[in-house]
Amino acid sequence: NIQEVFWLFDWSDQRVLYASPAYEKIWGRSREALYARYEEWSESIHPDDVDYARLSFAQAVSNGGGHAREYRIICPDGAVRWVSDRAFVIRNANGEVYRMAGIAEDITERKKAEEKLKQSEERLRSLSAELMKAQEKERSRLSNELHDELGQSLAILKHRVRSIEKERNILQPQLHDSNSSAIDLVDQIIEKVRRISKDLNPSILDDLGLIPGIRSLAENLTEEYKISTSIDIENVATRF
């Protein structure tokens, strides 16, 4: 019932001395064939991983092993599996490596879960980017409507109020103050519309990027509300 493969390798003779029964379940190959030909192991490794698997196995002799090596194998039926393999050196009385022992396990399901998680994270990033684009598009649309449509309507209203003031009857001087107040109010509304339009879609973001936009916002806050602001930005691309 042990799921891991325990193996013992003769480094001097370059042959497998022992592999536990789980080898046949994971690799789909017989242990007798592995005992007869050590190449059974290397020939089962995925072509893209074979160089790494061989090199890391040999490096275990110099570094003592113990590190997990992850690579893919191809079973006789064509199934591809991921395995995690650890090798440990065994030295003789002279301190020379003469055998290696190790343990290998099937990590295919874990790799599949990691890949699904990676794909989910990529989809989430993609959806977040699309959401930001949609929000920016909507802000741009509202900004254009405020600036082009409402702004023009207010400009026309201001022009008409001025026309009324010019055409007023000389005997109705009280209309002068009312018209002046109306013009001032229209001017204030126009300025607010311009400010809202600019805040919704500041051109500095499109022209220079995020960081200059943040600096510009801080400067505007300082000027409008008379408050002190400071910005501390590190490790961000200049054009971002």
Residue ranges of the chain with per-residue pLDDT less than 70: 1, 145-151, 158, 160-162, 164-183, 193-194, 196-210, 213, 234-240
Instruction: List C-alpha distances in Å: 107 to 71, 81, 112, 153.
Output: 10, 8, 9, 68
What's residue 76's pLDDT? 95
Helix and strand totals (H; E) in the chain: 9, 5
What's residue 53's pLDDT? 92
Indicate the pTM of the whole model: 0.57
User: In whole angstroms, what is the distance from residue 236 CA to residue 230 CA?
Assistant: 17
